[in-house]
Amino acid sequence: MVIESTGFSIFNLTDRFIELLLAPINYAEMLWIAVPLVLTLFLTEIYFSRYKQEELGWNSAYGNALVLLFVSVDIFRYLFNNNMLENMTTKLAIALAVTIMAIMLTFVNFLHILPEDLAYGLSSKLPINFLAYLALILVYSDIPADFQTFLASAGILVLFAAAIILFRKLIPISIEEIDY
């Protein structure tokens, strides 16, 4: 099935989806930062699944924004080590965009500028770690930052969110929470 207006097929989109999922395996250098991102995402989800009464606070939102800042530092390290800082490329633009976003979120959370619900939504583990993961893939790999990648990454985000929802249902709540 070909979508005429965009010029790509569902098969190509599926290939890009798989390419994005397998990027950390195919570009093993990114594993050093991608594995901790995914691991902390799932460990945090286990925690909040077990302790359902607890919510993200300003300190957690601030910490999550700092994680994005640390990832942007790693991205710049990669670009520097591979002599990719001299010319304005898509990879450098991604690095700059992630860094600016990380700095803005860090200040927003530090100063409590936005309403709590909005700040906590923007700075929760899933959007922060997903953005960091996608930026890592686009910088470390040869996958183009195009519309097809955008659609495939949106599919991965939906898949991650669904996995987290299912994961949360499987984790038993703590004994203390049962009394509530």
Cβ proximity of 75 and 139 under 8 Å: yes
pLDDT per residue over 93-139, tens digit each?
A: 999 999 999 999 999 999 999 999 999 999 988 899 999 999 999 99
* Burial of 25 from C-beta contacts in 10 A (0-12 / 13-18 / 19+): exposed
End-to-end CA distance of the chain: 52
d(CA 17, CA 150): 10
Whole-structure pTM value:
0.84
